[in-house]
Amino acid sequence: MQEIGNIGAGNAATALSELVHAQLQMSVPRVKILPFAEVSAEVGGGDAILAAVLFQLSGDLDGMMYWILPLSSAQALIAQFFDVQSSEWSEMSLSMLQEVGNIVAGAYLSAVCDFTDLRVYPTPPAMTVDMADAVLADGMIYAADEQDAVVLIETDLQAKQIELSGYFFIMPRAASLFTLLGALGV
């Protein structure tokens, strides 16, 4: 599981590096099983403001995928693209973030698919900027409606030259977890 995440992360880092002209580092993905109330602690607490791009996954892997940026990183990324320092969320900056999320998450996902030989189809991206618990609940509701904890495949990303950090979260539904493990021959 960590290996597939690793390959996905490498691809996504390359895609994002090209977009923002900065060196990016991705952590080794971690697989965690967390009670609902503890998931937002991974991103700074339930009321931390995040920019989040969400994809529902279908096909061989049923679940949710997030690309998450803390508020300061989202603003840094907007500044990088538009050369403005703004705390306002214009339509343009939001759709830019959504598109960057689409490209980066797409790179991540296609690498995972190549490696596992699974066919996974993401929905078009949906995006919001809001409190962590409010943002993450939809993923937990979808992935773990029949459990009391969610499986989280978490990868951190960090840029060198600009103030940018963020996360990839994949929340597979229980049935897909077995598909994923099966594809890896576990």
Which residues would be at the binding site for other proteins (CB under 8 A)?
35-40, 45-47, 49, 54, 56, 123-124, 126-135, 137-138, 140-142, 145-148
- Closest to other proteins by CB, 115 or 142: 142
Least CB distance to other proteins at residue 129 (A): 7
57: tokens are 């996954």
- Closest to other proteins by CB, 66 or 108: 66
Number of other CB atoms surrounding residue 39 within 10 Å: 24
- Closest to other proteins by CB, 111 or 135: 135
Q: Are 22 and 159 in contact (CB under 8 A)?
A: yes
Using alpha carbons, list the distances in angstroms from residue 144 to 8, 13, 115, 169, 184. 23, 28, 25, 14, 22
Number of other CB atoms surrounding residue 129 within 10 Å: 16
87: tokens are 């705390």
Least CB distance to other proteins at residue 21 (A): 29
Nearest of 138, 159, 169, 158 to residue 32 by alpha carbon? 169
Least CB distance to other proteins at residue 126 (A): 4
Least CB distance to other proteins at residue 95 (A): 11
- Closest to other proteins by CB, 31 or 126: 126
61: tokens are 């892997």
